[in-house]
Structure 1
């Protein structure tokens, strides 16, 4: 008989395991362990969502990102540190290997503290460029907080994204919400398709180094301005590991996470930094925007045999795929973003067929998409492939391999089923009937004798 205590423990373990699809172990790297008190609200929200937080400094010798080939942490949260390097246990190579192993990171920068060289090198691998001094201050003389930065204009007050870009999910859409970016550092983005800028600087903002460029900015040393500068960037590697770069670590502090701010010519309102921080960490730690393929089925139209290994050219085939999306603590039906399509390809070396899948059915936890189509007039080895790779969603690339054969000798249609053959068949049967009639006439028609009487043979 099973113990009730064991049953309760199993439920607790299942609840904890469900916090994130990538695991719940978080390493928080900060300059001093006492610094976590300044981020108590954000860190408390992470713990309330079931994450197990471990706090370490770069000077700690006990930090190990992996052991015996397995990750010791699932996620890393980097807060500003004053040291130039992160120590021998968090070198750029080790951090890249951590990402390759499926680990996720949140990198919070600051304009008052240069970023560690290890993080600068890691971000450069993803075409994220920081200033040469590894820090910089973004100011805006038109979009600042009149309550705290009336003179310096170094606290930016920006509207949160009010609508998702065309074809993208709305995970970070927060209409009517204001975000505060105190003393933020900007970064430039390359052309990598793995980058998604979540918040860009306004057109009137610019970046400079307060220590070296207080009197003026040399054009040769100018880093960036306007929408060249990204303040918050999401990075998703090809293995769906995630990195979030936040230009202002202060926006995550208790002082600012729910502070009242006032944009120029507006009344004071509470910032939405707390909700924004929740969505940032939720996305980075794979609590949202995670897709799962539950099943893929294909069969001859009208047949009950599922997933046969071989088809015939020009067969009518039905294809279905069941997909779910993880949303905080449960799997929900996946909804394709507006102005986007989920497609299926029937491909050999290149697609022979590419079709938009249609929603056929929705269950409590999944959406079933499908499409009926005719196989191409080409034999060989083919793949049913769903290659769905979109920003802010984990990548889906599923294949099912089948063989497609020629029509067998006894499967060709009979001549009388082909309308174009009817004239030829008519000619054949006309010839046969005419020949039979000729034979009949020749056999049953006697020749005429002399005098006009018929001959009946010799006496």
Structure 2
């Protein structure tokens, strides 16, 4: 009885936490776990954390080596997003390890991972599993003797600036980031075999990755625009991942610092870091680019009820409503590239859906003259948006024997030939029998 009572009390106290988990109706009402090497990061990166909190996120700060660390309890995840700001951690505490982080993402949850030149094998391993490879030299940093910040004119030029951003309003917002972004950290490359990884912030063509405290004895492994400073991943289950080679990228100092690019006379009072990390975090945590499809319908033209099956050559209507989460509510999604397939082994019909500017997409077409088990399929994938995969199965039957036309117009010549042959045979018989 004591054990049952303990379980009951645990469920009661855990229930409010579970209610904060990801909801398809309210994707931004979520709880985030923030792992840090030192709780001082909570102060040094407070602007970024305050931005998340003002947008409705509940942050739970813990040391990365906390022995009580856990992502789930009683088979239920306690958090819907994970922020790892502990680049030098060699081993997570509690039940958390590399596999647990990857399983967390596989379950559809989001991840922000920030590294620097002290990145441990654990952090590198998680990044590699996500399709990102940091420079193998543990002491390497991104160096740029052309696009560095003027404030480091006499330094080793590891404080660089970059404005090579991905051109996508859904990922970075529709307001252009004017000021260059400050970066100090380690570079990485994206796995070309992984089509899910996308470079968001790249280094300039003059950049390279090397140890700034030693002379180059061999050509650097990463050079130019091939160096990715910040990359994102959208998994096939729509979980989103952000991987940054710089923890300082999110710091108050970089967010509030003025910036002037070497060789440029333009000096900005504030870098583009704050706008960049705010907008990219909105994308990572599904405040933008999150789609849902509802009210998938199909029926014969002139009817309103969905039939159990169609007959070949029937005319039908297909419709679906698609909405996009704006951060606070669902808004109609408007696009001209949503298509539906009428599919059996291969598409027999492929139609682009028209929309009414209010989220309703629809089209009409004729069922092909082939019977079998078909599917209505919508496979929608667009850069920066969550993918939609809709399918509805429906059988298609041939005409019954009593549904064919009694007399087919195109067969009239054959009808005439048959009757004329019978008439001719009758006349021939009369003439032959009674002719003298």
Structure 1 position 326 matched with structure 2 position 325: yes
Match of 2:397 in 1: 405
- Structure 1 residues 170 and 26: alpha-carbon distance in aligned structure 2, compared to 1, 3 A threshold: closer
2:362 to 351, 357, 370: 370
2:206 to 194, 204, 207: 204
Match of 1:241 in 2: 239
Match of 1:285 in 2: 285
Structure 1 position 350 matched with structure 2 position 346: yes
Q: Is the 8 A contact 1:387 1:396 kept in 2?
A: yes
Residue 278 of structure 1 aligns to a residue in which SS? helix
In the TM superposition, residue 18 of structure 1 has moved relative to its aligned partner by: 9.4
1:63-74 pair list within 5 angstroms: 63-74=69-80
Larger Cα Rg: Structure 1 or Structure 2?
1
In the TM superposition, residue 95 of structure 1 has moved relative to its aligned partner by: 0.7
Per-residue CA shift, 1:234-279, capped at 9, x if unaligned? 1112211111011222121111113211122231112221121112
Structure 1 position 93 matched with structure 2 position 92: no
Q: Distance in 2 between matches of 1:115 and 1:92?
A: 14
Residue 193 of structure 1 aligns to a residue in which SS? coil
In the TM superposition, residue 181 of structure 1 has moved relative to its aligned partner by: 2.6
Q: Is the 8 A contact 1:348 1:381 kept in 2?
A: yes
Q: Distance in 2 between matches of 1:149 and 1:288?
A: 38
1:383 to 375, 380, 388: 375
Q: Distance in 2 between matches of 1:142 and 1:32?
A: 34
Q: Distance in 2 between matches of 1:176 and 1:63?
A: 37
In the TM superposition, residue 409 of structure 1 has moved relative to its aligned partner by: 0.9
Per-residue CA shift, 1:252-307, capped at 9, x if unaligned? 1111113211122231112221121112211111211111011211111222223x
Q: Is the 8 A contact 1:208 1:217 kept in 2?
A: no
Q: Distance in 1 between matches of 2:148 and 2:256?
A: 17
- Structure 1 residues 34 and 413: alpha-carbon distance in aligned structure 2, compared to 1, 3 A threshold: same
- Structure 1 residues 170 and 105: alpha-carbon distance in aligned structure 2, compared to 1, 3 A threshold: closer
Q: Is the 8 A contact 2:354 2:363 kept in 1?
A: yes
In the TM superposition, residue 180 of structure 1 has moved relative to its aligned partner by: 2.0
Q: Distance in 2 between matches of 1:20 and 1:278?
A: 19
Q: Is the 8 A contact 2:139 2:211 kept in 1?
A: yes
Residue 178 of structure 1 aligns to a residue in which SS? coil
Q: Distance in 1 between matches of 2:26 and 2:363?
A: 32
Q: Distance in 1 between matches of 2:162 and 2:362?
A: 42
Q: Distance in 2 between matches of 1:436 and 1:206?
A: 100
Match of 1:78 in 2: 84
Q: Distance in 1 between matches of 2:171 and 2:87?
A: 33
In the TM superposition, residue 396 of structure 1 has moved relative to its aligned partner by: 1.0
In the TM superposition, residue 177 of structure 1 has moved relative to its aligned partner by: 1.5
- Structure 1 residues 303 and 368: alpha-carbon distance in aligned structure 2, compared to 1, 3 A threshold: same
1:175-214 pair list within 5 angstroms: 175=176, 177-190=178-191, 191-211=193-213, 214=214
In the TM superposition, residue 393 of structure 1 has moved relative to its aligned partner by: 1.6
- Structure 1 residues 45 and 387: alpha-carbon distance in aligned structure 2, compared to 1, 3 A threshold: same
Q: Distance in 2 between matches of 1:334 and 1:55?
A: 36
Match of 2:409 in 1: 418
In the TM superposition, residue 133 of structure 1 has moved relative to its aligned partner by: 3.9
Q: Is the 8 A contact 2:166 2:200 kept in 1?
A: no
Match of 2:60 in 1: 54
1:218-297 pair list within 5 angstroms: 218-219=218-219, 222-263=220-261, 264-269=263-268, 270-297=270-297
In the TM superposition, residue 436 of structure 1 has moved relative to its aligned partner by: 9.7
Which runs of 5 or more structure 2 residues have no equivalent in the other structure? Answer: 1-18
Report the TM-score when normalising by structure 2: 0.86
Q: Is the 8 A contact 1:22 1:74 kept in 2?
A: no
Residue 153 of structure 1 aligns to a residue in which SS? coil
Which runs of 5 or more structure 1 residues have no equivalent in the other structure? Answer: 1-12, 448-459
Residue 344 of structure 1 aligns to a residue in which SS? strand
Per-residue CA shift, 1:118-165, capped at 9, x if unaligned? 22222211221112244631122221211344543222222263743x
Report the TM-score when normalising by structure 1: 0.82
Match of 1:453 in 2: none
In the TM superposition, residue 225 of structure 1 has moved relative to its aligned partner by: 0.7
- Structure 1 residues 90 and 313: alpha-carbon distance in aligned structure 2, compared to 1, 3 A threshold: same
Give aligned pairs, total. Answer: 412
Q: Distance in 1 between matches of 2:212 and 2:25?
A: 42
1:336-347 pair list within 5 angstroms: 336=335, 341-347=337-343
Residue 346 of structure 1 aligns to a residue in which SS? strand
